[in-house]
Amino acid sequence: MPGKLFIGNLSFNVADAGLNEFFASMNIPVASVRVMRDVETGRSRGFAFVELAPEADMESAISQLNGKILDGRPLTVNEARQQKPRDFRGGGGGGGFDRNRSKFSRRGGPRNGSGGERR
């Protein structure tokens, strides 16, 4: 039965192709490899998901790979879990600095007699 693995503690230098080659060198057939990347910078986030081929044994793959050194770092390998559903109800608020202050208050408004004089 094929499964999906979580691969953690990856070096930031490891790419999809490099991880695919690593699995091939360990004789573990894979269907897909995806190193997760930061959306803004494109840099690796240090973890990946690997979908095993149908003929691969997940328990054997985990025991073979967990703790194995790749690019100077010991890998953390577990069965991938389903992502928890997220609640998108909004929240937060916030805003900018001094958002609730009046435009012409003593502290944040214009100075030198242009509307912020003391009484």
Domain chopping of the chain, boundaries: 4-79
Walk along the chain (119 residues) and give the pLDDT tens digit of each residue.
Answer: 469 999 999 999 999 999 999 999 999 999 999 999 999 999 999 999 999 999 999 999 999 999 999 999 999 999 999 888 877 776 666 555 656 666 665 665 555 655 555 65
Cα–Cα distance, 84 to 32 (Å, whole number): 22
Contact (CB, 8 A) for 17 and 43: no
Please state the pTM of the whole predicted model: 0.68
Q: State the amino acid at position 75 in one-letter form.
A: L
CATH architecture of 4-79: 2-Layer Sandwich (3.30)
* DSSP bridge partners of 56: none
Cα–Cα distance, 61 to 33 (Å, whole number): 14
